Amino acid sequence: MPLCVFDIAPDGTARPPDPDHPLGDGYRWWHFDITDSDLPEFLADNVPEIPAAALMAQETRPRCDPFGDGLILNLRGVNLNADGPADRMVAVRMWVAPNLVVTVRMRKVFALQALREESEAGHAPVTPMGFVTALTARLMARVRDTVFDLADRIDVMEDNVHEDGAPLPDALVEERRMAIRLRRYLAPQRDALIALLAADTDLVSQSQQERLREQTNLAKLAVEELESLIARMTTVQDHHTAQAALAQGRNGYVLSIVAAVFLPLGFLTGLFGVNVGGMPGIDSKWAFAVLCVGLLILTAIAVWLLRRMRWI
């Protein structure tokens, strides 16, 4: 059984199919879950073979391909379900013909749910391409909000990056992964919308082209913003990596200077610490003081040499 089916009149009113009331100039919208056992039989009876196979595909990417007098259209939206993060995008598979719209989902798509509620209230899109335009607008609005929210979080990371001692943000890796996943689907979705604008079909009116052009520009903006965010997060990562390398190098430099100063001192104290006969100063009460003064002088000479060599 379909999730919903409506006969939509040219004035936007929708009703369940009724044999006593022919469809007329309107169109019929069928909406299925891909797990519906009745779906294969319905597609075999009502949809050409190639579009039917596209509707049943388990894995999809955004696309727009004319077929006969209709369009095979796949779009993606951000995931608002509780089963995963927003970047695990939900797919909408569509077959759009002059008097028929078939949509198939794998997970709940809130944009389709909103169209269903509007149809039940008698405010459905009046044409098949009007349906596509309305659905695209809802999908892209949620995409826009998700991308801009991500941009705001990256702005905060960038503002904190120059604070002394600021650690690498724990969320950076996940935010970067999210941006990459979103771009993976939004880049082909941008291309699909561009192809939809260029499609040679009578389904798209002039006013619908203008609305689709705005959604296409929004898709382009989202992809460009995601590419910028990925680069900015790489810069934040590189900054922290450079700061860590600088700190490590500075610490190693200090240790090297200390080792260079104390190396001769360690040699002398080790030499005078051997417990064998014949060591000078064993019977002199001033021997220890003389040794300490000599070590101080040697330290001063070592520091002077390091400064003269411009090591410090």
Query: What is the tens place of the pLDDT at every residue in 205-216?
Result: 888 888 999 999
Domain boundary among 220, 243, 266: 243
For 55-95, the pLDDT digits (tens) are: 999 888 999 999 988 999 999 998 887 666 767 789 999 99
Residue 254 domain-assigned (yes or no) = no
**Does 228 lie in the same domain as 283?**
no
> What's phi and psi for 268, nearest 5 deg?
-70, -45
Domain-located, residue 158: yes
The pLDDT value given to residue 82: 67
Q: Are residues 15 and 75 in the same domain?
A: yes
Domain shared by 287 and 191, yes or no:
no
Please report whether residue 88 resides in a domain: yes
Average pLDDT across the chain, whole number: 86
Domain annotation covers residue 187:
yes
Task: Examine the domain organization and report whether 169 and 46 are in the same domain.
Answer: yes
pLDDT at residue 300, as a whole number: 85
Are residue 144 and residue 238 in the same domain, yes or no?
Answer: yes
- Whether pTM exceeds 0.75: yes
Q: Is residue 150 part of a domain?
A: yes
pLDDT value, residue 278? 66
For 257, residues 6+ apart whose C-beta sits below 8 A from its C-beta are 306, 311, 312
d(CA 230, CA 154): 10
Q: Point out the residues of the chain with pLDDT beneath 50.
A: none
Decide which of 226, 243, 260 is a domain's last residue. Answer: 243
- Predicted pLDDT at 256: 81
Residue 82 one-letter amino acid: A
pLDDT attached to residue 234: 87
Is residue 264 in a domain? no
The CATH number of residue 87's host domain is 3.30.460.20
Residues 284 and 136 in one domain: no
Amino acid letter at 93? R
Q: What is the pLDDT of residue 156?
A: 83
Residue 236 is assigned to a structural domain of this protein: yes
**Model pLDDT, residue 293:** 83
b/e code 123-154 from CB counts within 10 Å (16+ = b): ebbbbbbbbbbbbbebbbebbbebbeebeeeb
52 with 113, same domain: the answer is yes
Residues 231 and 139 in one domain: yes
pLDDT for the residue 163:
65
Q: What pLDDT does 303 receive?
A: 79
Contacts from 83-90 at CB under 8 Å and sequence distance 24+? 83/107, 85/178, 86/146, 86/178, 87/146, 87/177, 87/178, 87/181, 87/182, 88/181, 89/181, 89/182, 89/185
pLDDT for res 302? 79
160 and 236 co-located in one domain = yes
Number of domains in the chain: 2
Residue 164 lies in a domain: yes
Residues 202 and 294 in one domain: no
Residue 279 lies in domain? 274-308
**Domain identity same for 71 and 218:** yes
Same domain, 216 and 283: no
